[in-house]
Chain A
Amino acid sequence: MVSGRSLESATALITGAFGAAVVVSSLDNGIGWSSAGVDSGTFPFVVGLTILAGSVFNLVQGWLHARPVILRPSELRRLSILFFPTAVFVGVIPLIGIYPASAFYVFGALAWHKRGSLLDAALAAIGAALALYLIFELTFQISLPRGMLGTAFGF
């Protein structure tokens, strides 16, 4: 279970941290007016301050007025079933490349939901990887990441 208060605060903290980083970073570029016109840091500085101030406001608001429960346990469970495999999929791309990663991902998703046989799942997995190759690599000449595995095999 996740409370609205914690989700609101977390989001406000993320946006606030981003705003602070923008403010600090823009100071490097100089703010104000110089012979070359409006300095390049001015606009990001103002924008960063806006984000920071807005985040503080949202933090307080969220703390005071948030809904008690924003994610029920069942919702949280379904969310993690989608999110974690996706994160793993994206995470392994630099290691094994996008083709095996996509194939495993599709296979895993189909196998988990237990519709159709494992053979169907395997065929769909290979089909997905093949479709990617045909469309991107072959037709539009966009080379997709092959990962360390691909490099080891000399692709």
Chain B
Amino acid sequence: MENLEALMHGFDIALSGNHIFLMLIGVLLGILVGVLPGLGAPNGVSLLLPLTFGMQPVSAIILLSSMYWGALFGGSVTSILFNIPGEPSSVATTFDGYPMARDGRPTTALATAFGSAAFGALAGVVLITLSASWVAQVALAFGPPEYFAVYFLAFASFVGMGGSPPIKTLVSLAIGFALAAVGIDTVSGSVRLTMGIDELVKGVNFVVAVMGLFGIGELLIAVEDEFHVKAISSKVEWREVFRTLAGLPRYSWALLRSAAIGCWMGITPGGPTAASFMSYGIAKRLSPRRANFGKGEPEGIIAPETADHAAGTSALLPMLALGIPGSATAAVMMGGLMIWGLNPGPMLFIEQKDFVWGLIASMYLGNVVAVVLVLLTVPIFAALMRVPFFIIAPVIVIICTVGAYSVSNSYLDVMMMMGFGILGYLFKKLHYPLAPLVLAIVIGDKAEDAFRQSMLMSRGSLGIFFAKPLVTTLILLGAALLLMPVIWRTIGRMMPRTQARP
């Protein structure tokens, strides 16, 4: 209960008029950078960082972390409305969020996303509050073999499900792995797969790929259909926001499960992206309404959003306690900590109690502020769906172009984005799944690095993946998930009656 006392003290610090004002500013700016693809929390953080040097460290971190919350929430908006995920971790939100919005229910989709995101974030903060001291130790148990096992688990829970032709899924997955390998390889330092284009040494950026595959690709699909070209006349109602929020408890099992997955992936090095994919994959397997997934099923929004935010929040803990930044934003914040003269690490919790608990208290408050603000914006964002297609289409193209360009001020990225757009169109048209490709781009190279680091450690013996209980458990769990559909199908075949069930 020592932690709770410290937390109360933290609330004392965070609950000043000045700090609430900073939270509002931070959240609003965060929503702005989160909504605009190509800009992300790192842009906002680096913009604000110089302003914070004159502030107290607590005030500064409250401003920056509020912006982080705002950006996390804002990132879901474009995923749902336009099928453009601005961050890797909101890709899985598009799977059901976008169909639901297209179906004329953008308000429901957004409110579901924000509601479950808030729940996930809350779960993350509670975890940090109750277990700040020992959770950091969990992360220490992860060496390269464990990293690999976690990534393997994420792939296993996601791949191998869904109605796409298996060979097309395989090709899509493999293309993602190949794209992830482009550029300098961490383990050998050599340049790979640049195909004679010098600039590709920087690798294929996720944002560039996703703007094209999802944003442009979806636009090309949507324009074909005359019905889609007409604007959706969705009714925007405040009541709908509240009704959706009030209905969320019906999904409490999904919420709890997803929050658990998110927290677990946040404190282990899996991260928010792996968490959201994994949570979606598991939700789809366990849900009785499996067939509705991908067509606007609420659980398909709840699962990734809850896990994403639970992971994003709990990932701040290893950063503070160990000094490993879980994301680019966390890295900038860590740079900030050091400029303010604080060293992230185990001593932070002992030497800088006011700072740490002020920050944790501000996570509660910042999230409340963020969710209130973002819910207020739902009708405004939902109204965007009523803008006619012929106006919104050029806007989306321009936003994707600028987004791809601003990743690294490169025209090559814009060209690649267009190429990905065509590929995205072809794939969607011909039922190649896009999700495995995206998952592989995001965590493929990390999984490969971890595998090769493990091989260096064991001098080539695969036994390293079965050497310790933790890694063995993870690998076996992954293998079970991978084989589950096969086993179920076999059982189904042996018992024809169960197969008859929908």
Contacts and interface: CB of A to CB of B under 8 A. Distances in A.
Asked if A and B touch directly (CB within 8 angstroms), the answer is yes
Nearest to B196: A25
A86 B390 CA distance: 13
A112 B390 CA distance: 9
B178 interface: yes
B426 A136 contact: no
Contacts of A126: none
B426 A83 contact: no
Interface in A23-59: 25-26, 29, 33, 36-41, 43-44, 47-48, 50-51, 54-55, 57-58
Contact of A135 (B36, B185, B216, B393): B36
A55 to B, nearest CB: 6
B430 interface: yes
Interface residues of A, number: 67
A150 interface: no
A115 B389 CA distance: 12
A12 B236 CA distance: 43
Chain A contact surface mostly: helix
Contacts of A64: none
A80 to B, nearest CB: 10
A109 interface: yes
B43 A11 contact: no
B418 interface: yes
B398 A132 contact: yes
Interface residues of B, number: 61
B199 to A, nearest CB: 14
B398 A51 contact: no
A98 B402 contact: yes
Contacts of B226: 74, 78
A1 interface: no
A15 B432 CA distance: 11
Contact of B178 (A10, A36, A44): A44
B224 A110 contact: no
Interface in B195-227: 195, 216, 219-220, 223-226
Interface in A123-140: 128, 132, 135-136, 139-140
Interface stretch (B19-27, B93-101, B114-122, B408-416): B408-416
A115 to B, nearest CB: 8
A51 B175 contact: yes
B223 A78 contact: yes
A75 to B, nearest CB: 4
A145 B411 contact: yes
B394 A106 contact: yes
Most chain B beta carbons < 10 A, residue from A40, A50, A89, A136 = A40
A79 B177 CA distance: 30
Contact of A22 (B168, B178, B220, B451): B178
A145 B410 CA distance: 9
Contacts of B47: 139-141
Contacts of A39: 188
Given A47-B178, A55-B171, A7 B192 contact: no
A54 B170 CA distance: 7
Interface in A56-106: 57-58, 61-62, 70-71, 74-75, 78-79, 81-83, 86-87, 89-90, 93-94, 98, 102, 105-106
B429 interface: yes
B406 A136 contact: yes
Contacts of B484: none
A117 interface: no
A144 interface: yes
Nearest to A4: B430
A98 B190 contact: no
A87 B401 contact: no
Contacts of B405: 98, 144-145
B309 interface: no
Given A75-B224, A105-B397, A135-B36, A25 B193 contact: yes
A97 to B, nearest CB: 11
B267 to A, nearest CB: 28
A21 to B, nearest CB: 6
A105 B448 contact: no
A39 B451 CA distance: 12
A149 interface: no
Contacts of A29: 185, 188, 190, 192
The 7 A-B residue pairs with the shortest CB-CB distance, nearest first, are A54-B171, A40-B188, A50-B174, A75-B224, A37-B456, A109-B394, A82-B223
9 contacts: A14-B426, A38-B455, A48-B174, A51-B178, A89-B398, A90-B418, A102-B398, A105-B394, A110-B390
Interface of B: 33, 36, 39, 43-44, 47, 165, 167-168, 170-171, 174-175, 177-178, 181, 185, 187-188, 190, 192-195, 216, 219-220, 223-226, 229, 388, 390-391, 393-395, 397-398, 401-402, 405-406, 409, 411, 414-415, 418, 423, 426-427, 429-430, 432, 448, 451-452, 455-456, 460
Given A40-B190, A79-B220, 10 more contacts: A14-B426, A26-B193, A43-B181, A51-B171, A81-B223, A93-B401, A93-B414, A94-B411, A136-B402, A145-B411
